[in-house]
A and B are shown apart, each in its own frame.
Chain A
Amino acid sequence: MSNSRKLFLGLSVVSALCVGPAIAGDGHPAGYFGYGRAPTDAEIAGWSIAVRPDGQGLPPGKGSVAEGAEIYSDQCAACHGTFGEGEGRYPKLAGGQLTGDRPEPTVGSYWPFATTLFDYINRAMPFPAPHQLTADQVYAMVAYILNLNNIVDNNFVADRDSVPKVKMPHRDAFLWRDPRPDTAAKECMTNCVDPGSIRIESTAEGKSLTPRTTGPLDEMKPE
């Protein structure tokens, strides 16, 4: 895991010791190949749509809950339901419990950052015609969906200052690191389990969930 900076330091160590690990990068200075060209500021601005939790990337503009309600019923409700309950298998956007047998992660019950809502709606929704809403419209959608989830009140106006300040209910439950390996199976080779204790707990046999795997594609309808 070297980068050009570490590599630069690393190289002198390598040459001093005449041994060392394989070098990951080639260590060429910036601009060595000289291919391509610098993008213009306008080109960069046009494609820079990513938004961070601290608000970096949020454009100017604003939108209210009331404005959001209108756009939502026009452009989103057909799939996501009037109150965000989700039609058919389309994602539910509001409500949902994380406890119980069938947890339902939604924007309200699960999402850690409100800024992600702006980023995602702007880049990917409405699903059939993505990235065509104005910044004001996207802000209005953010306000409306947060309001559907009772995270902001009816007077909330979403803009580049207000959205990063919204604290999402489940945020502190997220651990942004990988605790694995979290299993420690041993490589037993003989008499690893008591043969008498082996019991089939579940089987796919007889469940009518598996599409066929020969002949033409299965058209099996959603349940």
Chain B
Amino acid sequence: MKANKSGSEQKQKSESIGRRGFLALGSALAGSAMMGGKAAAADSYPPKDPDWSLMLGPGVVDRPYGQPSQFVKGVIRRNVPWLTATQESSVSFTPLQDQPGIITANGLFFERYHGGRATVDPAQHRLMIHGMLERPLLLTMDDIRRFPSVSRIHFIECPANGGMEWRAAQLNSLQFTHGMVSCAEWTGVKLSTLLDEVGLKKDAKWALVEGADAAHMDRSLPIEKCLDDVLVVYGQNGEALRPEQGFPLRLIVPGWQGNVNIKWLRRIQIGDQPWFTREETSKYTELMKDGTVRGFTWLIYAKSVITFPCPEKPLKGAGIYEIRGFAWSGKGKVTHVDVSTDGGVNWERAKLQDPVLPKALTRFTHEWRWDGKPTLLQSRCVDETGFVQPTISELRAVRGVNGIYNNNAIQTWQVKPDGSVYDVQLA
């Protein structure tokens, strides 16, 4: 075989640059790990061209399914290993400190399982709708995709988000205090379309929605909500629903606690009473300080949190900063967010960034000049019903500390003179 001389020379050259580039990258990594990145500066900063500008990068379909940059490897879902008995009935948290916009990347969307992540073959998946209706139905995924489709952007929040903070500030991390909320664009069919198709009977008042996972997760939903804005979805942010989110089919119940957004949805039974399943009696109910228990507290009330600065993202010296964060409400749109940089004495209106959508994460920003002195940062959400996000003391005064769920308290971040940030609670 006659080698093409110039071709093989070219190949050798790019290979050797490839190796050099690789070594340079290694030292750049080591350098930045040592702070300041001095080693890398010698090689790559202006006026020199960095190595990656002097060699070809990998070509198309090098990665047929794209991956995040190797430099953001640490941006991952994380769990609290001491929290649960098993990994299969547990939770992982979204790294909100590294989420730039309102959409959570599919690989970073928080997980909550009660029987592990089910592996469902879409060809064999069925959705059965039966009970108090005219036309019981068994649908394949192809059938479901033929129905008129809609796309909506909505958050999902586990009502236990912040549950570890009821008694005291415990976790020094935004990811662990608030990471059980994520937001995505969902595509599928309106549940009302499916319920029209089966023809509800007059006394139909409740729907039992059930998953195909090992927990056979099931919840009761009032029919009014089902006919309002509930979706049966197969698409998530430009691709098929992720297995972690219930591939091939899940329920989206906008603005309501995560647990009712049944994943791996396989059955909807219509009836005239709720079922009082384990997840709406033993769990997802709130024990009040007077011994009474609140059940069916599905709604996510207005909430917000500053995502920069936060324990994971400290400040680097006095000067001008953009405070950033997310606000959301299960009741509709966020109308505004106020920010306090003095522990709640004075508040200023933050800017809301488009888009501002109902029952979706909403981004806020606020310019702030830090004088380098210790201080306390807070954000406060007001939604379109006029509801104002409460403090943790206001919540404790009515509910006590045993409830676990529905902690929508204002978060306080303590900033120390060195710029480090801590999770604290005020008296």
* Chain A residues within CB distance 8 Å of chain B: 1-5, 24-33, 35-39, 43-44, 47-54, 56-57, 79, 88-91, 98-99, 103, 105, 107, 110-113, 115-116, 119-120, 123-124, 127, 130-131, 170, 173-193, 195, 198-205, 207, 209-211, 213-215, 217-223
* Cβ–Cβ contact B276 & A204, under 8 A: no
* Cβ–Cβ contact B172 & A123, under 8 A: no
Cβ distance A12 to chain B, nearest Cβ, rounded Å? 18
Residues of A within 8 A of B406 (CB): 180
Closest to B382 in A: A187
Residues of B within 8 A of A35 (CB): 139, 143-144, 146-147, 197
Residues of B within 8 A of A220 (CB): 80-82
Cβ distance B85 to chain A, nearest Cβ, rounded Å? 4
Contact with A along B250-291 (1 / 0, CB 8 A): 000000000000000011010101111110011001010001
* Known A-B contacts A26-B193, A175-B293, A182-B398; A200 and B138 likewise in contact (beta carbons under 8 Å): no
Instruction: Check: B176 CB closer than 8 A to any chain A CB.
Output: yes
* Count of chain B residues near A, Cβ 8 A: 116
Residues of B within 8 A of A181 (CB): 301, 387
Cβ distance B210 to chain A, nearest Cβ, rounded Å? 7
Instruction: Check: B173 CB closer than 8 A to any chain A CB.
Output: yes
Contact of B223 among A3, A112, A205, A222 (CB under 8 A): A3
Residues of A within 8 A of B39 (CB): none
Interface residues of B in 350-397 (CB under 8 A from A): 376, 380, 382, 387-391, 394-395
List 8 A-B pairs, Cβ < 8 Å.
A1-B224, A103-B287, A120-B282, A181-B387, A190-B347, A203-B425, A204-B169, A217-B79
* Cβ–Cβ contact A170 & B296, under 8 A: no
In angstroms, Cα B129 to Cα A6, docked, is 21
Closest to A25 in B: B192
In angstroms, Cα B220 to Cα A176, docked, is 12
Residues of A within 8 A of B273 (CB): 52-54
Residues of B within 8 A of A24 (CB): 190, 192, 227-229
Cβ distance A126 to chain B, nearest Cβ, rounded Å? 11
In angstroms, Cα B171 to Cα A209, docked, is 6
Contact of A211 among B81, B190, B202, B291 (CB under 8 A): B81
Instruction: Check: B135 CB closer than 8 A to any chain A CB.
Output: yes
